[in-house]
Amino acid sequence: MSAPLRRPERADMASQVIKCKAAVAWEAGKPLSIEEIEVAPPKAHEVRIKIMATAVCHTDAYTLSGADPEGCFPVILGHEGAGIVESVGEGVTKLKAGDTVIPLYIPQCGECKFCLNPKTNLCQKIRVTQGKGLMPDGTSRFTCKGKTILHYMGTSTFSEYTVVADISVAKIDPLAPLEKVCLLGCGISTGYGAAVNTAKVEPGSVCAVFGLGGVGLAVIMGCKVAGASRIIGVDINKDKFARAKEFGATECINPQDFSKPIQEVLIEMTDGGVDYSFECIGNVKVMRAALEACHKGWGVSVVVGVAASGEEIATRPFQLVTGRTWKGTAFGGWKSVESVPKLVSEYMSKKIKVDEFVTHNLSFDEINKAFELMHSGKSIRTVVKI
């Protein structure tokens, strides 16, 4: 058993600047640098959180690479974290110091037309400032060596302390292990929701999941929970097949083992195509294959992976005319503030897996190694203890 994560003991610091460690991305394409930063107190409708654990996701690496058109530097990355509220700003009513929380990169204000529409989870209340790496008032709470450091995805979990908008926080069960449930801040929730919310997989369905990383495994888990009868995993790395089967895949195939396009292989395997397919890579050619592997008349393909900026998808319109549907999902369709606590409860009651996604645990000083493990394909999720 690892030692329990310590809770913050800084009630006297609620209105003060906190000096702490953070992993700063000074510029694109360079490793993160562990620095001492200053974290300002929360302003109105903001919350300062002591981050206890964070995971590293492909989205962090995408921004760090310089390919993200919204990527701004210097910045504190990280969006799969969990921690304890250290202090709250003026007007915050639903959270208090000591609450156990998960920061959310998609907020839920409950008031905008997106929040009021049951068809979407894409709250737009703070979208513009969040995309610029700023708090809703247009400023940052982070400084380092006299320079302003930007926020990331409204969360910035690669820091001992972070400040987030109060609408970007889910209050969760205080008994939940933070070094596990931090994963519900992005990858697991995204894949699981793609199956149960976006596709709405039905019992007896035949499904195909393209890309067997963390998100793909979560999709498989969602398909299994929904009662799918066949779940076919598709990946060019056969080392991922055993774990996919542990999560519920009934069979796995490698496109490189066939001379014909993978969509044709799947159509033959499934007597006409799958009921539901999921692209969990971010590759536009695979997105086409996933759609074209769907059954005529009713097949649904969900785009889960995020393609690089400027990429476009293509297929013949006849694919859609003949009854296939192409959909996309962000954070699995979950309305975040209300849904993440329920997902934590599902984990605590063993309805969904979380522990099994964690392949490596590292100290904060080793955070760059987490990126190396991800790029090498050796990890599903690496959790960094802050």
What is the C-alpha separation between 146 and 130, in angstroms, rounded? 22
Confidence label for 119 from pLDDT (cuts 50, 70 and 90)? very high
pLDDT digits (tens, 9 = 90+) for 219-242: 999 999 999 999 999 999 999 999
Which residue is catalytic, options 45, 54, 86, 123? 123
Which residue among the candidates 48, 115, 280, 360 is catalytic per the annotation? 115
Pair (300, 260) in one structural domain: yes
The total number of structural domains in the chain stands at 2
The residue from 79, 151, 288, 295 that is catalytic is: 79
Tell me if residue 59 is catalytic. yes
- At which of 330, 355, 370 does a domain end? 330
Q: Which residues contact 286 (CB under 8 A, 6 or more apart)?
A: 210, 211, 279, 305
Residue 230, domain member (yes or no): yes
pLDDT at 378 (0 to 100) = 86
Query: Domain check: are 268 and 166 in the same one?
Result: no
Does 57 participate in catalysis according to the annotation?
yes
- Label the pairing between strands 230-234 and 80-88: unpaired
The more confidently predicted of residues 1 and 51 is 51
Say how far apart CA 159 and CA 36 lie, in whole Å. Answer: 10
pLDDT band at 63 (very low <50, low <70, confident <90, very high): very high
Q: 169-173, 199-203, 263-267, 304-308: which has the minimum mean pLDDT? A: 304-308
For residue 252, indicate whether it is catalytic.
no
- Say if residue 74 is preceded by a cis peptide, omega within 30 of 0: yes
**List 86, 100, 109, 141, catalytic entry:** 109
Backbone angles phi, psi at 180, to 5 degrees: -110, -55
Say how far apart CA 365 and CA 289 lie, in whole Å: 41
pLDDT-derived band at 138, boundaries 50, 70, 90: very high
- Measure the CA–CA gap between 212 and 218, rounded to whole angstroms: 9
Is residue 161 a contact partner of residue 327, using CB atoms and an 8 Å limit? no
Q: Is residue 52 a part of any domain in this protein?
A: no
List the domain range (segments joined by +) for residue 156.
74-187+333-385
Taking the C-alpha atoms of residue 143 and residue 206, their distance in angstroms, rounded to an integer, is 51
Q: Which CATH number is 378's domain given?
A: 3.90.180.10
CB atoms within 10 A of CB 69: 9
288 tagged catalytic = no
Q: Is 381 a catalytic residue?
A: yes
Active site residue 280: no
Out of 20, 72, 112, 144, pick the active-site residue. Answer: 112
294 in Cβ contact with 262 (< 8 Å): no
Q: Is residue 61 part of a domain?
A: no
> Beta 33-39 vs 206-210: how paired, if at all?
unpaired
Could you read off the pLDDT of 180-215 as tens digits, one per residue?
A: 999 999 999 999 999 999 999 999 999 999 999 999
